[in-house]
């Protein structure tokens, strides 16, 4: 199908874009890489009267990895740009492992980090990474700027706190210390499909016990989910298979996966525990390997 008719503008600066979004209001939509929005238009699942194409705003296209471990990503940085960032890959393999499983290369070449966060698909990798690394989101409208946490950003199924006249400018994540291990594991029916289940983990093993643990799970319900209680089961414990399994099993109670064409909810719940365990095991060996 062809999209319904819409007006189109392509601002060159953030201020111009904010002015346009303010004028158009609720009837408009931001267009970034178009990898989610254009299919929605084509299927007539979205009918905006105006598209504000931000893809030429150079100030939104950057990736910076600071010596302090803060990763700053401009909204227009593409998935592929993150995937091919060598220093980031070495510093935090979980991000590369997650992003390299987004669709296919053609999609990763055009799709943007900001677009994926704003789209907030619960089966998408970026919202799960945002929860895992305590992301801060920088939002701006004509009336001012605000910063929200990952917990605040993702409200429900494909719903964020972003207002219609607001742009997501950037995402900042605090990466764990270099001695920590990180990993992201997912399963999908075919290469390039959205995942049926996926989990990211951070484990820092110091003097034989877990000093830091983080878990986040995608395809887990209306939004990605952080496994805070499962994390607490690991802190202060030896990272034995038994302890990792106990934390992974606990994830079942934190999620509400939805039945879909790929399988019933119970099956996905089981898969979530499997990918959580695998990601914890990988993170453990990376943390312990970093200290030998
Ligand atoms: C075949 C296929 C397979 C895919 N597989 C996966 C997958 O496995 N995992 C995955 O995570 N994604 C997948 N995607 C989606 C892809 O990752 C998209 O790139 C991403 O979801 C949206 O990014 P975009 O830049 O294309 O955004 P767009 O499609 O341009 O926009 C998406 C939404 O975000 C809003 N938006 C965009 N940028 C901003 C901004 N800066 N501020 C405010 N609002 C904004 C738009 O208004 C729109 O509502 C797939 C897509 C396709 C077509």
Q: Which two tokens stand for residue 112?
A: 């943007």
Question: Would the CB of 30 count as within 6 Å of ligand 1?
Answer: yes
Alpha carbon distance 248, 203 (integer Å): 13
**CA-proximal residue: ligand 1, atom 11 (nearest):** 124
Q: Ligand 1 center to residue 187 CA distance, Å?
A: 20
Decide the pairing of beta strands 50-53 and 28-31: parallel
Extract the runs of DSSP E, i.e. beta strands, from the chain. Answer: 7-9, 28-31, 50-53, 63-65, 70-74, 136-141, 144-149, 154-156, 159-160, 167-174, 181-187, 197-206, 209-218, 225-226
Query: What residues have CB less than 8 Å from 52, skipping those under 6 apart?
Result: 9, 10, 11, 17, 20, 21, 24, 28, 29, 30, 31
Spatial contact of 171 and 135, defined as CB atoms under 8 Å apart: yes
One digit per residue, the tens of pLDDT, for the chain of length 292 reads 788 899 999 999 999 999 999 999 999 999 999 999 999 999 999 999 999 999 999 999 999 999 999 999 999 999 999 999 999 999 999 999 999 999 999 999 999 999 999 999 999 999 999 999 999 999 999 999 999 999 999 999 999 999 999 999 999 999 999 899 999 999 999 988 999 999 999 999 999 999 999 999 999 999 999 999 999 999 999 999 999 999 999 999 999 999 988 889 999 999 999 999 999 999 999 999 876 6
pTM, full prediction:
0.97
Q: Ligand 1 center to residue 277 CA distance, Å?
A: 28
Q: Ligand 1 center to residue 116 CA distance, Å?
A: 4
Question: Would the CB of 218 count as within 6 Å of ligand 1?
Answer: no
Alpha carbon distance 80, 89 (integer Å): 12
Question: Would the CB of 95 count as within 6 Å of ligand 1?
Answer: no
Looking at residue 291, its pLDDT comes to: 67
Ligand 1 atom having least distance to the Cα of 104: 3
Q: What are the backbone dihedrals phi and psi of residue 208, each rounded to the nearest 5 degrees, phi first?
A: 85, 0
Spatial contact of 21 and 166, defined as CB atoms under 8 Å apart: yes
Ligand 1, residues 111, 113, 157, 184: which to mutate, most atoms within 8 A of Cβ? 111
Alpha carbon distance 31, 117 (integer Å): 13
Looking at residue 90, its pLDDT comes to: 95
Instruction: Please state at what angle helix 241-251 crosses helix 265-290, rounded to 10 degrees.
Output: 140
């Amino acid at each position: 199908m062809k999209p319904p008719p819409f007006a189109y503008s392509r601002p060159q600066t953030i201020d111009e874009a904010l002015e346009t979004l303010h004028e158009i209001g609720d009837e408009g939509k931001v267009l970034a890489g178009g990898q989610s929005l254009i299919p929605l238009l084509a299927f007539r699942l979205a009918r905006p009267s105006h598209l504000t194409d931000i893809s030429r705003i150079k100030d939104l296209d950057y990736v910076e990895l600071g010596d302090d471990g803060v990763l700053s990503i401009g909204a227009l940085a593409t998935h592929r740009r993150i995937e091919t960032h060598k220093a980031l890959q070495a510093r935090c393999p979980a991000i590369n492992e997650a992003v390299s499983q987004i669709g296919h290369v053609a999609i990763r070449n055009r799709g943007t980090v900001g677009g994926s966060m704003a789209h907030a698909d619960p089966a998408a990798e970026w919202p799960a990474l945002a929860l895992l690394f305590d992301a801060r989101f920088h939002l701006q409208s004509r009336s001012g700027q605000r910063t929200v946490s990952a917990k605040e950003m993702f409200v429900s199924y494909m719903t964020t706190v972003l207002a219609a006249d607001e742009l997501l400018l950037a995402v900042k994540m605090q990466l764990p210390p270099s001695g920590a291990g990180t990993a992201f594991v997912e399963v999908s029916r075919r290469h390039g499909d959205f995942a049926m289940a996926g989990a990211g983990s951070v484990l820092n093993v110091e003097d034989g016990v877990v000093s830091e643990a983080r878990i986040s799970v995608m395809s887990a319900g209306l939004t990605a989910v952080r496994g805070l209680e499962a994390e607490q089961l690991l802190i202060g414990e030896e990272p034995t298979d038994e302890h990792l399994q106990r934390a992974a099993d606990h994830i079942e109670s934190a999620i509400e996966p939805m039945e879909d064409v790929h399988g019933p909810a119970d099956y996905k719940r089981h898969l979530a525990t499997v990918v959580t365990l695998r990601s914890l095991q990988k993170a453990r060996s990376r943390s312990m390997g970093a200290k030998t």
